[in-house]
A = this chain, B = another copy of it.
Amino acid sequence: MNNRPPNHEHIDDQMVKMEVNLDDISGEWLGYVMDVLFDAGANDVFYTPIYMKKNRPGILLQLLCRKEAINQMKDILLKETTTLGIRYYPLTVHRMERKFTHVETKWGPVTVKQGISGDNVFQSSPEYEECRKIAKKYDVPLKKVYEEVWRNAEK
């Protein structure tokens, strides 16, 4: 169903974006809905502030999921939001190969997610949750934890 290019990149043509416009739901519920959708396996969920008719500040809910998840996501949206309709369209997703390495810091090792293209590491991201835990445990600014990781990563 998917074709995999020779190396380091995966092309996925089985994804869709679903969208719902919402003008009769509170922010409180929307914070909850996002969690429910992620828990159910949505690849991504995000909100955009929009201007709707009758001077209404509304929210555009967008989510990315695989085609086979459309019905499950639709059920959640109908149950947990106030919409009576949803829309979606297919899209193609390119995902780069990811490799996980570890960088030593004075507070212990931190996982770094690397993006690989050919022999090239074009992207290095310290894992947020690990850095957050170190920041809390050692009472240091999160910023300092990231800086330490960046400094200790080999070139």
User: Contact residues of A with B, CB < 8 Å?
Assistant: 15, 17, 19, 21-35, 38, 44-60, 64, 74, 78-96, 98, 113, 115, 117, 122-125, 128, 132, 135, 141-143, 146-147, 150-151, 153, 155
Q: If A94-B86, A150-B147 touch, does A50 touch B50 (CB 8 Å cutoff)? A: no
Subset of 26 A-B contacts with CB under 8 Å: A27-B56, A28-B54, A28-B56, A29-B143, A31-B56, A32-B135, A32-B142, A34-B53, A44-B52, A47-B50, A48-B48, A49-B49, A54-B128, A55-B55, A57-B59, A78-B96, A79-B141, A80-B141, A84-B113, A85-B93, A85-B94, A87-B91, A87-B92, A89-B89, A89-B91, A122-B141
Complex CA gap A52/B61 in Å reads: 11
**Residue of chain B at shortest CB distance from A92:** B88
Do A34 and B46 touch (CB < 8 A)?
no
Tell me if A84 and B115 are in contact (CB < 8 A).
yes
Separation of A116 and B135 alpha carbons in the complex (Å): 21
Q: How far is the CA of A81 from the CA of B28 in the complex (A)?
A: 14
